Structure 1
Amino acid sequence: MAASSSKSSLSVSSLAPIGAVAAMLSRWGLSTLKALLLEPIRVNPPVWLRVLFGLLVVANVRSTPLLWHIRVWYPAIKAIVRARACFLTPKSQALSHKAIQPQLRLETLPIGKDIFEDMSSYSFLATLDECDWNSHLSNSSYSRSLDCARMAHNVPRFIKMFSDGGSVALGGSGFSFHREIPMLARYTIRMSVEAWDDKWLYLVGRFVSPAKPSSKKPAAAACSASTDAITEKLLPGETLYCTSTSRYVCKAGRRTIPPWLMIAASGYGTTSSNWQKAEKLRVYYLEKERKAYLEKTGKKSISAKADAKLRKKAPLLRQYRLQAERQGTEEEAWMDKSYWDLEEWETRRKQGLQRLLTSVGVLPPLEK
């Protein structure tokens, strides 16, 4: 009896797929598949449901999938295209050294600029999907807007660092909330470098209201232990909503690059001396790699493929060595802070570190 039941079950399990395929290939099955796959699905919801769906989409438009990625990466891609000397950008006579690729348009770089005066502003709107039940911008939404502002501020200013073999990583961020941002209110994030030490670069973002032209005195911030420190960079008529401090570390491979070197090699300074020094070093290390290659191989010329590999070995920041790794040669002089013109910022740099301690209070000092 058991044997017969097992045979019947086996036969049913074997015939079931065959029956399903036969049903799909029948006239009824083919017409059903055609209706499902080829013909459009006709839905005719009532008007109130259409209006409700439209309002739902509009209210959450900032949360559309992939929109955050577009908002963050668009200013970075725009800065790269604008800086490159290519067919997409206007012709420029002032370019970086032709031996160092990619060539960049000098007018897009921060050459001869004071890093503490180099600020950027980005406007936002407190949309419905970013606000909480208290009818003001949710605390979690501050970080989302700050992502866009940080990317738009950093990439154009430190774009040369990437071709120099460096990269930056966010090591931490902190927020001090002073006043709430009302729902549907416009606000501005003003980004600027506040200070740096031997490892971290501190970037401050101030969430402020749009300035009122009729105001003559700076608006007061919320009650805080350090009102003077956090409002000193406000414009007349602005209200300070939030202060954010982000700290970045620069890396070239496994080595930590001090912020002062990243700043100087990017061209910052009231003169162009830092940029000129960096360009000479870039050319020197590239020619050094080429010379070593010719001596090693015995060739008289370098192919394009071999030259591309040499360029990957020659980026400036990848030549940097920590103090314990140096041999004390004259070639390593640029690895010391005294080689660069940085004294003009030293007083303001220390003042910035002190402001961070008294205003934000979440990032411990790393230099004594």
Structure 2
Amino acid sequence: MAVGLAVVLRRFAGLSATDLVRVLSARSLQYAPKVVKYFVLLLFLIQVRSWPLVWHWVVWRPVFAIRGRYLVHRLSNIFSSAQVRRQKNLEWLEGLSKVGSNPFDLQVTYRTWAGPDDCDFNMHLSNSSYPKRLDAARFTFALEFCPTFFRVGGWMGLGATHFTFLREIPMFSHYEMRTSVMSWDNKWIYAVTRFVTKPKKGKGKKGKHAPAESVASALPPSAEAAPNPSLHTANGVAEGTSTPYPPASGTNSPPTGASEGARALAAQLMERPEPDGALINCLAVSEVCCKIGRITVPPALVFAIDGFCADPPQGMQAYSRTNPPPHWETVRQLRGDAHATLGSPIKGSLKGLRDFYTGGWRDVPEGQRWWETALGAEVEERRLRGLPCMQALRKGIEEARTI
């Protein structure tokens, strides 16, 4: 090292300052193409999650996973008889449904992280990246809730998405999107996704320094300073130096239905902390409807056919695949899954189930609609409890269109 440095010093000892600058500049230009090439390559690799078709792969990955598991299952029974294979396939497909589950108790969690391609110049997850990542979480949620509906050619249409930003998600942070059902009506399912981050162990509020932007904003601006715009997430949590939600009453003008609905939803979820102590960074409400072709299918029917129901009366055994709810035998007949013995014929077909989805349910008299009975009791109470704030949110947006 010392010998090499001595050689370099002897080589440039006789050069003037001007000549030395000229030589170093020439050498720098000689290596500049390599530096630029490696920089571009590094930048390209950092943006890997935003490459063409990567979004499609991320969103459709749950479908490929289900199809892969089903293929492995079929290969494992390839040497069984046709009747045994058919029975086992039906049992496997039935196993995708959440038989005996309460729709409000099921939460679908999607884990990811805030990569550089998703963040803005503030080194936080960009507000535009929330809907981009929500697509994958919402599709995973749909597959978990309604696998049978997709088997008959159903699809889910997204009507609207509403975001309430509470806390910023720093770059490289791992976060989760936890999606659950808030309510539904005759057409729309209102699904709530909570973007949460887990606080670091041992990190408390004591000794917490004020953020740099807060300190900088407290300094008097210079009259000769150039404009320096900055965008940050407005914190909706009533703590610290952040600006909380305005009170519901006061001298201010009354809030619109959309802001009232968003505030009501945020209040409900903020007062209900995450069981594991995770912090809620953002709330997203998705309005989705179930369709086959152009025909809208009632959400209650979709849920009941995939096994969702209210809890059994007190003192009775909880519903499950081994102890199915009362309406499950009717569902099996529609699905073609009613096979009591190995030699019994397959009853029904997917065509019959599709026909029931697309209009056959209308022929069932009002008092005999088993899917409404299955989702009665406390499920109906929770649905009605969450519906007003969802409808207020939707009404506010519709009123904004008339302004």
Q: TM-score range by the shorter chain?
A: 0.5 to 0.7
TM-score, normalised via structure 2 length: 0.61
How far has the Cα of 1:102 moved from its partner?
6.1
Cα drift, residue 90 of structure 1:
8.8
Residue in 2 aligned with 1:252?
292
Name the CA shift for 1:103/1:317 in 2 (closer, same or farther; >3 Å).
Answer: farther
Aligned position for 1:181: 169
1:50: which partner in 2?
37
Query: SS of 1:124's equivalent?
Result: strand
Q: 2:151 corresponds to which residue?
A: 163
- Which residue of structure 2 aligns with residue 59 of structure 1? 46
SS of residue paired to 2:128 = helix
2: distance between equivalents of 1:80 and 1:181?
A: 34
Counterpart secondary structure, 1:86: helix
**Counterpart Cα distance in 2 of 1:78 and 1:47:** 41
Give how far 1:137 is off: 1.4
Aligned partner (choices 172, 188, 207) of residue 160 of structure 2: 172
1:205 — aligned with what? 193
Question: What amino acid is aligned across from residue 266 of structure 1 in structure 2?
Answer: D
What SS is found at the alignment partner of 1:155?
helix
The amino acid across from 1:74 in the alignment is R
Q: TM-score scaled to structure 1, two decimals?
A: 0.66
Aligned to 1:353: 387
Residue type at the aligned position of 1:168: M
Asked which structure has the greater RCO (Cα within 8 Å, sep 6+), the reply is 2
C-alpha displacement at 1:360, in angstroms? 8.9
The 3-state SS of whatever aligns with 1:109 is coil
| Cα separation, 1, equivalents of 2:121 and 2:200 | 28
More deviation, 73-82/117-126:
73-82
Residues 235 and 277 (structure 1 numbering): CA distance in 2 closer, same or farther, change over 3 Å? same
Q: Is the 8 A contact 1:122 1:188 kept in 2?
A: yes
8 A Cα contact 1:84 1:104, kept in partner: no
2:297–2:357 contact (8 Å) kept in structure 1: no
Equivalent position amino acid for 2:181 in 1: V
Does residue 278 in structure 1 map to residue 331 in structure 2?
A: yes
Amino acid at match of 1:344: E
Query: What is the root-mean-square deviation of aligned Cα atoms in Å?
Result: 4.0
What is the CA-CA distance between 1:247 and the residue it aligns to?
Answer: 1.2
Contact 2:90/2:337 (8 A) holds in 1: no
Counterpart check, 1:230 vs 2:218: no
Could you tell me the percent identity over the aligned residues? 30
In structure 2, what is the Cα distance between the partners aligned to 1:344 and 1:216? 38
In the other structure, the counterpart of 1:344 is 378
Alignment check: 8 A CA contact 2:74 2:89 kept: no
Q: Match for 1:279: what amino acid?
A: R
Q: Distance in 1 between matches of 2:71 and 2:147?
A: 10
Change in 2 beyond 3 A, CA 1:150/1:56 = same
1:79: how far off? 2.7
Structure-2 change in CA distance of 1:251 and 1:157 (3 Å): same
CA distance in 2, matches of 1:319, 1:341: 17
- Count residues in correspondence: 292
Displacement of 1:159 after TM fit?
A: 0.8
Alignment correspondent of 1:4: none
**Partner Cα separation in structure 2 for residue 183 and residue 361 of structure 1:** 35
Cα-to-partner distance string for 1:163-207 (whole Å, 9 max, x where unaligned): 245332112111111122222222111111111111111111111
Report SS of the residue matched to 1:48: helix
In 1, the alpha carbon distance for the partners of 2:163 and 2:138 equals 14
| CA distance in structure 2 between the aligned counterparts of 1:59 and 1:110, rounded to whole angstroms | 39
Specify the code of the residue in structure 1 equivalent to 2:382: R
Distance 1:133 1:360, change over 3 A: farther
| Contact map agreement 2:155 2:290 (CA 8 A) in 1 | yes
CA contact (8 A) 2:74 2:85 kept: no
Aligned-partner residue type, residue 164 of structure 2: S
- CA–CA separation in structure 1 for the residues paired with 2:86 and 2:182: 34
Q: CA deviation at 1:321?
A: 2.8
Shift of 1:352: 2.0
Q: Unaligned regions of 5+ residues in structure 1, if any?
A: 1-43, 286-306
Q: Post-superposition shift, 1:242? A: 0.9
Superposed CA offset, 1:44-70 (max 9, x none): 984312320232113211111111111
For residues 70 and 153 of structure 1, the distance between their equivalents in structure 2, rounded to whole angstroms, comes to: 16
Of residues 57, 60, 66 in structure 2, which corresponds to 1:70?
Answer: 57
